Amino acid sequence: MSKKIFLCTFAFICLALISCNPTSSSTSTAITVSKLKINDGDVSGWTVSQSGIYNSADDWAKPAGGGVDGTAYEYTTTPGLSFTQVLDEKMTNSSGASVTIYVIDYSTAANATAMYNYKKSTSNWTQNKVVFDTYSDTVAVGCNSSAPNISACAHFKQFYIELGFEGETDITVAQNSAVIFLGIFETKISGN
């Protein structure tokens, strides 16, 4: 009987040691905003001029940190959501156009969808909506309220993405650029 208990105890300890490997060198596969950062060369002709990652609306709103001055709270207070992190990038191209990129991690797909639905329901977006051929308007839309400048918003998994193009003289080029940027984010987020 004691031999059975000993063997069972020994087997249990071996299984526990095998399943718990504290020295494992595997890296996390979790998607974070830092993994979604667009680098020079990711989009032909565009270079990064500013980039920051923020962990709260307070940090993001501080102008000295780059941030978005007081408008960070629009992404938390109005829809009643909170986010984990924000990637805030600005890129420029050789023709002088720029794009401001917000990638916001809302922790769940439901929260990212809620932010997307809130944003696209505002009057500016409903009156000037642009539907992209490559996306359903339940996933991504554009807004050309200040054409030829264009904005776009989308959601993929727990991420809400917003793009704001300025200085582009051709609205078609701006819309095509928006689709390219959204496609890069979709690919990075889906892991393909």
What domains are there in the chain, each with its CATH number? 27-190 (3.40.1000)
* Distance separating alpha carbons of residues 103 and 39, to the nearest angstrom: 14
Say what the pLDDT of residue 6 is.
40
Percent of residues, the chain, with pLDDT higher than 90? 43
Q: pLDDT digit string (tens) for 106-165?
A: 999 999 999 999 988 887 787 888 899 999 999 999 988 776 678 999 999 999 999 999
Per-residue CA distances from 45 to 52, 73, 95, 177 (Å): 21, 32, 9, 11
166 closest CA partner among 150, 154, 152: 150
Three-class DSSP category at 140? strand
Reply yes or no on whether the pLDDT at 32 is more than 60.
yes
Average pLDDT, the chain: 80
